[in-house]
């Protein structure tokens, strides 16, 4: 806190009047940074909004920001009170931003309300897991019309070798609801997620959008 006060040109007493710990300062700073770096777009479509929102989120994840996110994740895992602060002071604000564009999509009839709530969890869960831990690329597919399925969205996890990845996951207890299928854009299989919809695992045959 002393270093923060010195850089801000104020006394520590002034800081403690507004924030009780360094964690609170960092969380509010990160929330403000997120609001400025990743504004909520309004392109008129869910696909357009998600494309701009997720691109801005990925672009904002520079090495210093990712380092802070990793430290916050570690703090949340080690201390329940820290986890609650991180949830309430930072994550809630970013989830609300994503929720705003999903709520507009519900109002336009592009997605059902129940699926919008699930999408918020899946999008942020896969996005932050990817950004913080650099686990490998993932993809969000939004289908406003969707043919026989109607409007729907899919969270997909990419891999380089689907047969090897599936075997590795099955050895760890994972189950799949479909065999490996050739769908033109890539080889796919559906990974079961307890309590939620399956997630598609696929080996793409097209250039990926990001190499994060």
Query: In this predicted model, which residue has the larger pLDDT, 174 or 181?
Result: 181
Residues paired with 140 in a beta bridge: 155
Going by C-alpha positions, the residue among 64, 60, 202 that lies closest to residue 141 is: 202
Bridge partners of 143, per DSSP, are 152
Q: Is the pLDDT of residue 186 over 80?
A: yes
Q: Which two tokens stand for residue 138?
A: 């993932």
Specify the 3-state DSSP secondary structure of 80: helix
Q: Which of 2-11, 20-29, 96-105 has the highest mean pLDDT?
A: 96-105
What pLDDT, on the 0 to 100 scale, is given for residue 144?
A: 52
Three-class DSSP category at 70: helix
- Structure confidence by residue, pLDDT tens digits, 109-158: 988 888 788 788 777 776 766 666 665 555 555 555 555 555 555 667 78
The tally of CA atoms less than 13 A away on the side-chain side of residue 45 is 8
Contact 19, 5 (CB under 8 A): no
Q: How many angstroms separate the CA atoms of 173 and 56, rounded?
A: 35
The pLDDT tens digits for 86-104 are 889 888 898 899 999 999 9
Task: Give the pLDDT of residue 14.
Answer: 66
Q: What is the mean pLDDT of the chain?
A: 79
Beta sheet of 152-158, edge-to-edge order: 138-143, 152-158, 199-204, 186-191, 181-182
Q: How would residue 211 be classed by pLDDT, with cut points 50, 70 and 90?
A: very low
* Contacts (Cβ under 8 Å, ≥6 apart) of 47: 142, 144
% of the chain at pLDDT higher than 90: 17
With a cut of 50, say whether residue 212 has pLDDT above it.
Answer: no
Q: What would be the CATH architecture of the domain defined by 2-136?
A: Orthogonal Bundle (1.10)
Domain boundaries, the chain: 2-136, 159-212
């Amino acid at each position: 806190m002393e270093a923060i006060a010195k850089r801000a040109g104020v006394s520590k007493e002034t800081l403690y009047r507004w924030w009780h710990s360094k964690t609170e300062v960092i969380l509010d700073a990160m929330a403000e940074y997120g609001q400025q770096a990743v504004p909520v777009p309004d392109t008129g479509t869910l696909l357009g909004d998600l494309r701009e929102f997720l691109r801005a989120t990925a672009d904002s994840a520079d090495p210093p920001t990712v380092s802070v996110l990793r430290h916050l994740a570690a703090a949340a895992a080690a201390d329940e009170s820290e986890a609650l602060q991180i949830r309430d002071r930072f994550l809630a604000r970013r989830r609300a931003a994503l929720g705003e564009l999903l709520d507009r999509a519900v109002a336009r009839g592009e997605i059902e309300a129940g699926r919008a709530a699930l999408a918020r969890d899946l999008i942020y869960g896969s996005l932050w897991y990817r950004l913080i831990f650099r686990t490998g690329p993932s993809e969000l597919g939004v289908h406003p019309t969707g043919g026989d399925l109607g409007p729907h969205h899919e969270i997909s996890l990419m891999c380089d070798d689907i047969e090897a990845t599936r075997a590795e996951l099955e050895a760890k207890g994972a189950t799949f609801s479909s065999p490996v299928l050739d769908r033109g854009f890539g080889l796919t299989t559906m990974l079961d997620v307890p309590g939620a919809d399956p997630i598609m695992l696929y080996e793409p045959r097209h250039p990926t959008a990001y190499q994060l």
